[in-house]
Amino acid sequence: MENNLLLDVRKKAEVWLNGDYDQDTKNQIKALLDNEDTTDLIESFYKDLEFGTGGLRGIMGVGTNRMNIYTVGAATQGLANFLKKEFGKTKQIKVVVGYDCRNNSRLFAETTANIFSANGIKVYLFENLRPTPEISFAIRELGCQSGVVVTASHNPKEYNGYKAYWEDGAQVIPPYDTGIISEVNKIKHIENIHFEGNPELIEIIGENIDNLFLDKIKKLSLSPDSISRNKDMKIVYTPIHGTGITLIPKALKMYGFTNIIDVPEQNVISGDFPTVKSPNPEEPAALKLAVDKASSVDADIVMASDPDADRMGIAVKNDKGEWILVNGNQTAQMLVYYLIRRYKELGRLKGKEYIVKTIVTTEQIAEIAKRYKVPYFDCYTGFKWIAAIIREQEGKKQYIGGGEESYGFLVEDFVRDKDAVSSCVIMAEIAAWAKDNGKTVYELLQDIYLEFGFSKEKGISVVKKGKSGAEEIKKMMTQFRSCPPKEIAGSKVTIIKDYNALRMIDLAAGATTNMEMPETANVLQYFTEDGTKISVRPSGTEPKIKFYVEVRLPLKSREEFDAVDAAAEEKILAVKKSLHLD
C-alpha cells in the first residue's frame, strides 16, 4: 500500500517537474524527488489541496497539497468559471481581492486578480493589506458578485489561505459552495488556468473604502457620553504584526479615545510573526508583550487582533490587580449583554431585534437574550452561518450582534463576517461605560455571572497531523457516535445531538426528534443532568479535533467567585478525564 502511494506521489511530482511550471518550483520538486526521506514529498503530493466550503488553507510550498500560485490559480479559475455561469447575464461581473500580512499574500492576491481579469472579470484590488471585514464591506459597497481574501487567519506562519465570498459579503454557503467546488475540481491541468491578466480590468482601491467603512463603524456607538467622560482611559492595542494596524487605532481615535498605547515590536508588519510562536489572540503568549506594556503603564484594558483582523482578544485586571485573559465566550457574553442592555436603555428594543450565536458557544448568551425577551438564533460554527441568518432576516428583523467562542464577533450588518475593527471599538466603549458606572470590565463580567449564573468554558484541541492524523480523527468521531458516553464527570448524559444525522435523542424521555438545520455537519453534542455541555467536531481548517466544554455552577456573591471558578476548573478536569483527554 505504501509503495503504491509513493509511486502515485512520484508520478504527480513528475508532471510538475516536466510541465509548464516556473523554474524555482521545478528546482524544489527535484530536491524533494532526490531526497531519500520521502516524507515531505508525500505530504506535498499525496492529495490535492482541497477547495472546501471556506476556500483553501494549507502550508505554503510546492505540490498539489500546498499553497502556491498554481493551487491558488486553480481555485481562482474554478471560481471565475462558476461566476460566469451564475452571473452570465450581468453586464460586468465584479470582485474584490484583499490580503493580509502573511508571506506570499501579495503574490497570491496579484495572481488571483490577474486570473479574474484574464477571464473578463472586473477586479478591485486593495493597494495594501487590509482587515478581512473591510473586504466583506467592500464587496457590498461596490456591488460585487464575489470576493477573495488571501489569509490563513491565526494559523502558524507556515500557512496561508484563500477565502471565497459571495455577493452579500459573506463566505460562500450552499448551494453556491458545491457549485464552486465542482468547477475548481474540473481544473486538472495548468493549461486550464488563464494567468495572463488584463490590467484594464484591475482597479486599485484603498483609502476611499477605508473612510466609508470607518464612517459606518462610527455610527455603531451607543455610549458616546461615557467615552467623552473617559476618553483618556489607557488602551493597549496590538495587531500582532497584522492588518489591524491599518484601521483599529484610527477607529479608536475616531470614537474619541485619546490614550491608545501601542506595542512597537508588534506593529511591525511581518508574515514571520517574529515576536510570537502563533499569532493567535486566544493564546496567552501572543498577548504577553501587550500585557507587559499594560502592566507598566497601568492600563485599563488590553486588546489584540489576529493577522487578518477578524478576531479580537482582550485582557483585563481582576480584583487583585492581576492581568488575566478573557476568553471568547466571556467576551461574547459581555458584548451581547452590553448591546441588548443599551438598546433597552435607549428605547431601541422594538420587538424585532435578535442576536445570533453558534451551537458551540456558551449558553449564557441564550440566557441573557431570554431575560431581555430578545429572540436568538443558534447556528453552525463559522460566521458564514451567522451571515446566512442575517440575510434570511433582512427586512424582517434587526440584527443587534452575534459571536462565537473562537474570538469572532460582529456588531453590525454592513459586514457579513467577524470583525475585530468594530469589536475593538465597542469593547473599548464597554470599558468606558463600565468605568462611567464605577466598575472595571472584570466587575462587569462578574455582574453578568451574578445575574445569569456562572459558566466556565474550555476549548480542548487534539492535534493529529498529516494523512495518518486525518484517519485518527475520523476514527475518534466514529467511536463517539457508536459508543456515546453514558455519563460525563459523574453526571448522567440526558441529551445527545448528532448534527450529521440531524437527530436529537432525549435519553430521559426516551424520545428521538429531528433537528432543523440548513445542512448536516460532523458535530456531536452531549448535555448532562448538571448543565454540562460537550461539543465535539473536527476542525474544518486545521489538523485537529476540537472539544468544547461548558460547565455551570451557582454563584451567589462576588466573594464566592474565586471558589466557584476553582470548582468549575476542577469539574472541567473531570470532564477531560471522562473523555480520556487528560
Mind telling me the catalytic residues? Answer: 153
For residue 568, with 0-12 CB atoms within 10 Å meaning exposed, 13-18 middle and 19 or more buried, which class applies? Answer: buried
Phi/psi-derived region of residue 273, left when phi > 0, alpha when psi is between -120 and 50, beta in every other case: left
Grid cell listed for 295: 502592566
Amino acid at 2: E
Residues 71, 6: Cα–Cα separation, whole Å = 21
Strand pairing class (353-358; 376-379): parallel
Task: Give the list of residues 6+ apart from residue 528 with CB closer than 8 angstroms, or none.
Answer: 487, 488, 489, 491, 492, 493, 494, 534
Place of cell 453578568: 448
Amino acid at 41: L
Residues 301, 541: Cα–Cα separation, whole Å = 31
Instruction: List, as one string, the DSSP characters of 27-90.
Output: HHHHHHHH-S--HHHHHHHSSPPP-BTTEEEEEBSSSTTSBSHHHHHHHHHHHHHHHHHHTTTS
Name the DSSP class of 311.
B
Strand pairing class (146-150; 94-99): parallel
Other CB atoms within 10 A of residue 578 CB = 18
Task: Give the list of residues 6+ apart from residue 514 with CB closer than 8 angstroms, or none.
Answer: 502, 503, 504
Amino acid at 40: D
- Under a CB-based contact definition with an 8 Å cutoff, are residues 308 and 242 in contact? yes
* CA nearest to 421, candidates 257, 288, 246: 246
* CA nearest to 311, candidates 414, 220, 216, 424: 424
Other CB atoms within 10 A of residue 82 CB = 22
